[in-house]
A and B are shown apart, each in its own frame.
Chain A
Amino acid sequence: DTGVSQNPRHKITKRGQNVTFRCDPISEHNRLYWYRQTLGQGPEFLTYFQNEAQLEKSRLLSDRFSAERPKGSFSTLEIQRTEQGDSAMYLCASSPQGADSPLHFGNGTRLTVT
């Protein structure tokens, strides 16, 4: 079990640019989640996948955000036309299917939009 891996760890970008983050979940986990965390707040749910199917998206996920999990393994989160308000820590988590299975979080990708 190598844990959930996220890349890059840090990303600094200029407003208006597009960014893409990658998450590699624990290999036998079929559920994958994206959360966003801003300073002084707890993680906020963005979206989740079961295998390759995106089953739910939060209202926080504007049209500029898109997430994919094409083969049911790794996932990408893309933000188009970044805004300063997108600056946050983006967290990925995975879990096996099953009632109340714990989420295993990665260390996150910290995005700074200048």
Chain B
Amino acid sequence: GNSVTQMEGPVTLSEEAFLTINCTYTATGYPSLFWYVQYPGEGLQLLLKATKADDKGSNKGFEATYRKETTSFHLEKGSVQVSDSAVYFCALGGSNFGNEKLTFGTGTRLTIIP
């Protein structure tokens, strides 16, 4: 079946540090890949997505590239801010699978200290 494996947290970084959160997946066919973020006290929201191999999703300074050869979708940001403190979820799904079956990873809690 489909599954997502995420880097375990929590992750604590200093402001302006470089961030990588690893995500690998197992799926049959060609899913779309997503990163969702949950800020304190708020609902999950889409951060970025990529729908096919070699696509790069980007938003708010975050990037992730869909790597079919390594079945990965690692999240990166060059310089994190305190406001990036949140829980980050990698997910797979999409029109080939049906959005209704988004499969999420376990989440990675990120804390940025000033």
Contacts and interface: CB of A to CB of B under 8 A. Distances in A.
Contacts of B49: 100, 102
B51 A100 contact: yes
B8 to A, nearest CB: 10
B100 interface: yes
Interface of A: 3-4, 31, 33, 40-45, 48, 55-56, 91, 93, 95, 99-108
Given A4-B43, A102-B46, A31 B106 contact: no
User: Interface residues of B toward A: which range?
Assistant: 20 to 34
Contacts of B41: 107
A31 B100 contact: yes
A42 B94 contact: no
12 contacts: A3-B43, A41-B106, A41-B107, A42-B105, A43-B89, A44-B104, A45-B100, A48-B100, A56-B100, A100-B94, A104-B45, A105-B43
